[in-house]
Structure 1
Amino acid sequence: MENQSAKKVWFVTGASKGFGLEFIKQVLANGDAIAATSRSIDGLKKAAGTDSENFLPLEVELTDETSVGNAIAETIAKFGRIDYVVNNAGYGLAGSLEELSDAEARHNFDVNVFGSLNVIRQVMPHLRRQESGHIFNISSIAGVTGGFPGFGIYCATKFAVVGFTEALQVEAKPFGIKVSLVLPGYFRTNFLESDSLITPAKQMEEYKEVRNVLSIHQNQIKGNQQGDPVKGVAEILKVAGIENAPLYLFLGSDALQMAQNKISFLHNETENWKHVSTATDF
């Protein structure tokens, strides 16, 4: 085993850009170690720009559980343990439910949902043996509110992350493992760039609102997002390992506002229709 000087060990997916790349910078600056994954190890090394002994770049295909398992094993072999896991990898898909093909929708789920599940299955045995650890699953405010025309499948993947993370939190607690959901709003990363936001191969001219919403995202919101990824990652690092870590961690004032709006909406819906809800009991 090498390099026992690092304080803590992080395992972060999707680390060649955005939040993931910022994790590399801040984790190393804190003196911790980080194993970072990407589909291209050359691109990852170039983006990270470091040869620190505390940095382990890994080429991983998250939809291949064997590839994920090998990456976890390499991390343990080099650093001896894993303390924090960040399921960060994912991409956006912008198209109406009707025009997106089955293959396009399923691939979004394969990466955004099943990729994280592959990591969880492979890392949990190690965390259980340690009786410690903290898993951060990166969802989105789009995992709480789905009212974005053209983003239904993407929202569905992020809703799925919310659902399985809530279950994981109670499943992992007896083993001393903490679990947190991170739900960012709009952050000034490359999420709205063409390599991170995919559009349908076959678009339908009938969906003018969907095209308009996409145009707003690409031409008005992109580059003007109010969230600072440097500050976002810094706040996650503050939460890491604290005794009473939150299950829900909203990042950004916009995310907080949208979450509060959803809470108000649900409250009003349940109050307005409780006479129907309660009419079905024996």
Structure 2
Amino acid sequence: MTSQTPVWFITAASSGFGKYMAFEALHRGHKVIASARSTTRIQDLKDAGADIVALDVTSPLPELQKIAKEANDKYGYITHLVNAAGYILVGAVEETSPEEDYDTFNTNVFGTLNVSKAFLPYLRATPGEKTIANFGSIASWRAGAGYGLYNGTKFAISGISEAMREELAPFNVKVTVIEPGYFRTGFLNAGARVESKQHIQAYDDSLVGQLRQQLVKTDNQQRGDVVKGAKVCVDILTHSGLAEGKDIPQRVALGSDSPPTIRGKMKDTEELLAEWDSITTNTDHE
């Protein structure tokens, strides 16, 4: 990091990790520009000292570019961009409509892409180290019946973040993907969790039906503490506290359930490869 005061731009700061990372950064004396679709939802951050701006991540790129310029002009630079916007679409692949599919990718993936595109000219031009933190999920690693579209968006964010990390390394822009497990945010609240409009009865007694019931039971019972998680994220992104002396990693497996999920997927994948290697790899030209 440089000796400059960090300046954060955070999307979806009205709830969850966006909100609590903003509060944590403010607590450390950093500058924060917090955004949400409606500024009425982030007045508490304004009261705590943040600048606030209305931003819908699904807006056309020229609108996002205008906001990015205004944000950069506020303090003359941006050091940290946090792409935290996203939601879960619940339903079997057969149940979700093309419009619902597009909407979830538009927010979870295209929103992250376009906000990043809007801010990158300013990040590249800023001296010293800069960071982009994109929010993935343990759903970036393990897919399941009933939330396949969410899995698809988070798999995409993970892959895009890895590519961005390589592309932006020459400009001293560190890119990481934060992959939380289950944290007690409003993510699964009835007002935030989106259910497919079509409900096919045949899936009720399947894993899809079980998933619907499980999400309702899990809401507000998640093990993860979002305040503690946000503090760890800010430590990592600023090389401070618990992360002092460490580089920003390619991914942050956040929460007590995230590393075991990833290790489980790695184990299953290794077993699959070992079983099929002798058949699937004999495909080269002689």
Name the SS of the counterpart of 1:90 in structure 2. Answer: coil
- Which residue matches 2:38? 40
Paired residues of 1:6 and 1:31 also in contact (CA < 8 A): no
- Which residue matches 1:50? 47
Counterpart selection for 2:221 from 224, 235, 238: 224
- Which residue matches 1:256? 259
Task: Provide the C-alpha distance between the structure 2 equivalents of 1:73 and 1:162, rounded to a whole number of angstroms.
Answer: 27
State the Cα deviation string for residues 128-168 of structure 1 (Å, max 9, x = none). 1124310000000001111x210000000000001111100
Paired residues of 1:6 and 1:33 also in contact (CA < 8 A): no
Q: CA deviation at 1:277?
A: 2.1
Task: Provide the C-alpha distance between the structure 2 equivalents of 1:6 and 1:93, rounded to a whole number of angstroms.
Answer: 40
Paired residues of 2:57 and 2:112 also in contact (CA < 8 A): yes
Q: CA deviation at 1:6?
A: 7.7
- Which residue matches 1:172? 168
Long gaps (5+) in structure 2: 240-245
- Which residue matches 2:243? none
Task: Provide the C-alpha distance between the structure 1 equivalents of 2:193 and 2:279, rounded to a whole number of angstroms.
Answer: 40
State the Cα deviation string for residues 157-201 of structure 1 (Å, max 9, x = none). 000001111100000001111011100000000000122210011
Long gaps (5+) in structure 1: none
TM-score by length of 1: 0.93
Task: Provide the C-alpha distance between the structure 2 equivalents of 1:67 and 1:185, rounded to a whole number of angstroms.
Answer: 33
Task: Provide the C-alpha distance between the structure 1 equivalents of 2:226 and 2:24, rounded to a whole number of angstroms.
Answer: 11
Name the SS of the counterpart of 1:273 in structure 2. Answer: helix
Paired residues of 2:26 and 2:48 also in contact (CA < 8 A): no
Task: Provide the C-alpha distance between the structure 2 equivalents of 1:73 and 1:270, rounded to a whole number of angstroms.
Answer: 48
Higher mean C-alpha displacement, 15-24 vs 256-265: 15-24
Task: Provide the C-alpha distance between the structure 1 equivalents of 2:4 and 2:41, rounded to a whole number of angstroms.
Answer: 25
Name the SS of the counterpart of 2:223 in structure 1. Answer: coil
- Which residue matches 2:281? 278
TM-score by length of 2: 0.92
Q: Number of aligned pairs? A: 273
Paired residues of 2:46 and 2:52 also in contact (CA < 8 A): no
Structure 1 ranges of 4+ moved more than 6 A? none
Task: Provide the C-alpha distance between the structure 2 equivalents of 1:77 and 1:145, rounded to a whole number of angstroms.
Answer: 41
Q: CA deviation at 1:256?
A: 1.0
Task: Provide the C-alpha distance between the structure 2 equivalents of 1:215 and 1:270, rounded to a whole number of angstroms.
Answer: 34
Task: Provide the C-alpha distance between the structure 1 equivalents of 2:4 and 2:175, rounded to a whole number of angstroms.
Answer: 22
Task: Provide the C-alpha distance between the structure 2 equivalents of 1:262 and 1:70, rounded to a whole number of angstroms.
Answer: 41
Task: Provide the C-alpha distance between the structure 1 equivalents of 2:183 and 2:193, rounded to a whole number of angstroms.
Answer: 14
Task: Provide the C-alpha distance between the structure 2 equivalents of 1:66 and 1:254, rounded to a whole number of angstroms.
Answer: 39
